[in-house]
Structure 1
Amino acid sequence: MERTSCLVVGGGPAGMVLGLLLARAGIDVTVLEKHKDFLRDFRGDTVHPTTLDLLDELGLAEEFAKLPARKLDRIQLPIRGSVQTVFTLEHLPGTHKYIAMVPQWDLLDLLARAADREPNFRLRMNTEATAVIRDGSRIAGVAYRTGDGDIGEIRADVTVACDGRDSVLRAEVGLGSRSWPTPMDVWWFRLPRTDIDPAGVIALLSANRAAVMFDRGDYWQVATLIAKGGDAAARRGPVSEIVRSMADAAPWLRDRENALRGWDEVKLLDVKLDRLDKWYTDGLLCIGDAAHAMSPAGGVGINLAVQDAVATARILATPLASGTLTTHDLAKVQRRRSIPTAITQGMQRFLHTVAIGPALSGRVDIANAASTPLPLRVLRRIPVLRTVPAFLVARGVLPEHAPAFARRP
């Protein structure tokens, strides 16, 4: 039997940020991460301006600057044979007028190193939470299993579920949720990149394909959208058809139509969009995707999860330190973060309706201006409006800042 003050389940961006901030408040924190390392392709790489601001406030900017990063300051679409800017980030308020594209494993390693410098922080890799421990109606901690097969229990004053949309803790506690249909699932794969390719993030919308390409230097990380539930049927065809259909909107990809050698190189992400009615119960709080599974539309899920973690640390640090934590404190976190979550998910549902759904159904071809959705035509014609969606994506609603106890020069 082990004990900690705050037990964080999940070592993604939300879990690592929460663990670091609470440790700097003097709180005893244990983070459980079920994998043996952070190296997984299925991680988003976007570090938004609000997270860059947070790293500045935590005194980690210099260390972050050493990571392999590419700066994204615009979103582009192939239109009529050329790549045109649809959204721009250059007019954002604040110091960081870009999104940094950094391998998420590098960011998580940075956060882990910073947290390890705090004497009351413990990171348990290769350790998976398997069930909650109950003390009457209260969640008192979790049972765990390591990759070596060892089992045990950790009890805590509060357990925070940061274990994603398929959260074991969320499922076991049975918190009710509301969900919305999504028109797509996502295929995730890599393509080679050449020096003459466009840079940054490229969105492709055509009659046959909707995809987003993330520039990682020597390769593209590609998220291509498929109709919801269409994976099995599509895999009966040739894998080369994926890039061939992308090249309809981006002819410069023609030389890579055979870059994918087999379907095992194409991973499926089951897209969900939902939100818990209540993010907490006595002794347990859900944040990030465990509280609100986000669509990949806009690439905002990581940013929202980090903002949840900052608010959680600020609200819970004092009652945890004094031993007076109650469900009232957990409710404060939901009240603080529910409005930004609802607005962001509303934006994603709008994108599903006006762009992604029509593209997947073949009703829109962005290369043909006559069929371009009205919102995109307006953005192209009135440049100043391009900053509005850019602000929502890059900075979001109600951004959080590091509490004073966590700041370092």
Structure 2
Amino acid sequence: MPDHDVAIVGGGPVGLLLACLLAHAGIDVAVYEKRSMGDARSRAIGIHPPGRAALDAVGLGEEARRQALELDGGDVLCSGEVLASVSFTSRQQVLILPQHRTHALLVERLAHVQPDAVHLGQVVRDVRDEGEVVRLSLEADGVGREVTASVVVAADGVRSGVRRLLGVRWRARRGSGSYAMADVADVEPSTRVRLYCEPGGIVESFPLPDGRRRWVVADPLDRLHDGAAFAREIQDRTGIRPGEATALEPTVFRAQQHRASRAAVGRIVLLGDALHETSPIGGQGMNLGWNAARRLAAAIERSLRSGTPDFGAYERSALRSAARAQRRSHFYMTMGRPVDGLSLGARNAVIRALGSPPLRRSAADLITMRGL
């Protein structure tokens, strides 16, 4: 008998969501996370309709809505002119909640359903599919041990050690760019996103709960490493001086896109960022992982009942959804690149068309991850 029905490597939001789904179904699950404490960084903030459905499935939907800010919609501007506006219907509703708060909700829910499921400070050194079980070699504080499970799920991020041990190829996809990001006090609180598609590159402005706002600036020259330069660039492109300008500590990051060639090898399955790196531009990564987690939970239940691992349908659907999301992200990034002359006029014409009455609803569906 294995030690656990399912072992999940990685205790981020996607791994925790899957653990909650399985625990709710009465499946014994263990989560092994290499960090010894929670991650307080505010990374993913948007909870799209697929993410809302996933949180509803584990009984967290209402609490997430209570803590979150609900977006009304968004506006796309260039040189002070509104090119397009969309408003969200109830089925398109997007919630804004910083990732560390979503993470805390999932940790609390899992602890309620299956206490002691999460094991922190655990580094996975090896994983071996032995036919009837999968054996994990773990190390904590210099001490090694082994555990077994009927199924192992790798939700250990873009640099997945499990994916590397399996020898699964990690292929680059179209879409990359450099950005700088910071969260500051909101001088004019609202419930709408503003995207400034300026000639010098996009500036994104997202409202956050508790009177905060996130600014994301395309940084193709990789020079926005300090608060003064970051604030000055926002002002130069948009005419707006963000709050707390002198105290900004921007996070500089490189957005890239990759996809694994396989989602499952025998009893070992890849999930979330271990399966696909999707640009955060468009806010799809976490929600894409949550959507796949719901499909994977159902596949795991079936496999445990039959005694035979069968993740073919999950693999096809997860890779197909990732491909769609990455195509959308590539489009968003293309729309936000520096541009001038005739190309600027052509780009703005595309944005106006997407915001026109015939296409506005479809554009809102695209933004809110319908069809994934």
TM-score bin, normalised by smaller chain: 0.7 to 0.9
Matched, 1:242 2:230: yes
Within a 5 Å distance, the mapping from 1:137-286 to structure 2 comes to 140-146=134-140, 148-194=141-187, 196-216=188-208, 217-227=210-220, 230-231=221-222, 234=223, 239-253=227-241, 257-260=245-248, 265-286=249-270
Residue equivalent to 2:336: 356
Larger deviation, residues 196-205 vs 334-343: 196-205
Query: Pairwise CA RMSD of aligned residues?
Result: 2.9
Tell me the percent identity.
24
Cα pair 2:83 2:352 within 8 Å, conserved: no
1:181 Cα deviation from its structure 2 partner: 4.1
Instruction: Tell me the secondary structure at the aligned position of residue 297 of structure 1.
Output: coil
Question: 1:312-357: per-residue Cα shift (whole Å, max 9, x none)?
Answer: 00111132245x132xx1222112222222222122222333x133
Report the CA distance between 1:161 and its aligned residue. Answer: 0.9
SS at match of 1:252: coil
Q: Read off the aligned partner of 2:8 and give its amino acid letter.
A: V
Deviation at 1:266? Answer: 2.6
The residue aligned with 1:54 is 54
3-state DSSP of counterpart to 1:19: helix
Change in CA separation of 1:250 and 1:365 when aligned onto 2, cut-off 3 Å: farther
Residue identity in the other structure for 1:207: P
* Post-superposition offset of 1:149: 4.2
Q: Which amino acid aligns with 1:125?
A: L
Partner AA of 1:158 in structure 2: V
Q: How far does residue 88 in structure 1 lie from its aligned partner after superposition?
A: 2.7
Change in CA separation of 1:9 and 1:222 when aligned onto 2, cut-off 3 Å: farther
Residue 364 of structure 1 deviates from its aligned partner by 7.2
Structure 1 CA distance, aligned partners of 2:174 and 2:92?
33
Rounded to whole Å, the distance in 1 between the matches of 2:8 and 2:291 is 16
Q: Which residue of 1 aligns with 2:86?
A: 87
Question: Given that residues 21 and 57 in structure 2 are in contact (C-alpha distance below 8 angstroms), is that contact kept between their aligned partners in structure 1?
Answer: no
Preserved contact between residue 30 and residue 123 of structure 1 (Cα < 8 Å): yes
1:125 maps to 2:120: yes
TM-score normalised according to structure 2 size: 0.88
Is the CA contact (8 Å cut-off) linking 1:202 and 1:213 kept in structure 2? yes
Q: Distance in 1 between matches of 2:235 and 2:70?
A: 25
Query: Is contact 1:4-1:156 (8 Å) kept?
Result: yes
1:407 maps to none
Cα distance in 2, alignment partners of residues 139 and 241 from structure 1: 54
Gaps of 5+ in 2: none
Is the Cα–Cα contact under 8 Å of residues 364 and 372 in structure 1 kept in the other structure? no
Does the CA contact (< 8 Å) of 1:205 and 1:365 recur in 2?
no
The aligned runs of 1:382-401 (5 Å cut-off) are: 382-398=356-372
Give deviations 1:240-289, integer Å, cap 9, x for gaps: 222212123332326755343xxxx2323232211112112122111111
CA distance in 1, matches of 2:242, 2:95: 28
Runs of 4+ in 1 over 6 A off after TM superposition: none
Give the direction of change, closer, same or farther, for the CA distance of 1:133–1:277 in structure 2 (3 Å limit): closer
The alpha carbon displacement at 1:378 in A equals 1.0
SS of the residue corresponding to residue 35 of structure 1 reads coil
SS of equivalent residue, structure 2 residue 36 = coil
Size of the aligned set, in residue pairs, is 370
Q: In the TM superposition, what whole-angstrom CA distance separates every residue of 1:76-104 from its partner, at most 9, and x where no partner exists? A: 233443666533322xxxx5432110122
Match of 2:313 among 332, 338, 363: 332
CA distance in 1 between partners of 2:122 and 2:84 (Å): 44
Query: For structure 1, which runs of at least 5 residues remain unmatched after alignment?
Result: 399-409
Q: How far has the Cα of 1:120 moved from its partner?
A: 7.5
The question of whether the paired residues in 2 share the 8 Å contact of 1:206 and 1:365 is answered with: no
